[in-house]
Amino acid sequence: MLTAMGDVMRRAYEKGWITTRDGNISLCRAGKKLMYITPSGWRKTIIHPEHIIKLKMTDKEIKVPKGSKPSGELEMHYLLQRTHKKTMAIVHLHPTNIIAAMYAGWDLQVLASEFPEVSRYTKVGPSVPVLPVTSPELAEATFNAMTKDNKIIYDIVGQAAHGVCSIASNPWDAYEHIERLEHICEIALKSGVTPKSK
């Protein structure tokens, strides 16, 4: 699965869903208090298992070993991974059409409900407003959007003017949630229909 983390990043780059150094992925295995996460600033096209950073985590904190530089979105991954009991992968990318659809005013939850290819397989949560990248505010808002009573209830949420956070039992399943939502956002944008104002 560590190999899949790099493979997902390469695919995301090929799709144009990240620029070279964007995006991040974390993974926690069932019953283990360890988080595997992509490094900060690294070229995501050349991520391989030996580049992935391993961090010890408890319910209260996550320890970053001296000299290692995990993703700037570590806090977002930690808040969500802290709830994990089963194996869980979290993928954060910047998919073009999802971001464009939010920018155009589409409500991703409403949009997803109209397309069975998404609504059958992917639970879309409420989008997070525009917040500074790598900020604690973004981490907390993403956590709140994805969870209820400290349990993760959605597969993916949008982050306005920024990206998405997607969760599944492995990196490729999380990627598929993004892919499905990205596809219908592209369709909605190409349709020329403008979103109904709320």
Cβ distance to Zn ion smaller for residue 6 or 95? 95
- Closest residue to Zn ion, judged by C-beta, is 163
- C-beta of 6 vs 158, nearer to Zn ion: 158
In 16-148, where does DSSP find H-type helix?
A: 74-81, 96-103, 108-113, 116-119, 136-146
Closest to Zn ion by CB, 34 or 144: 144
What is the distance, to the nearest Å, from the Cα of residue 121 to the centroid of all Cα atoms in its chain?
16
Instruction: Return the residues of window 32-91 that contact Zn ion according to CB under 5 A.
Output: none
Over its C-alpha atoms, the chain yields an Rg (Å, rounded) of 16
Smallest separation, CB 176 to Zn ion (Å): 19
Between 6 and 163, name the residue whose CB sits nearer to Zn ion.
163
Task: Compute the C-alpha angle 97/134/152, nearest 5°.
Answer: 70
Q: Which of residues 124-183 bind Zn ion (CB under 5 A)?
A: 163
Check if the beta carbon of residue 33 is closer than 8 Å to that of residue 57. yes
Tell me how many residues contact Zn ion (CB under 5 A): 1
Judge whether 37 and 52 are in contact, CB under 8 Å.
yes
The answer to whether residue 6 forms part of the interface with Zn ion (CB under 5 A) is no
Measured CA to CA, the distance from residue 80 to residue 34 in angstroms comes to: 13
Q: How far is the CB of 105 from Zn ion (least distance, A)?
A: 21
Residue nearer to Zn ion on the CB measure, 39 or 187: 39
The minimum distance between CB 140 and Zn ion, in angstroms, equals 15
Question: Using an 8 Å Cβ cutoff, are 188 and 101 in contact?
Answer: yes
Distance of closest approach, residue 92 Cβ to Zn ion, in angstroms = 6
Q: At what angle do helices 171-191 and 2-15 cross, to 10 degrees?
A: 20
Q: Which residues bind Zn ion (CB under 5 A)?
A: 163
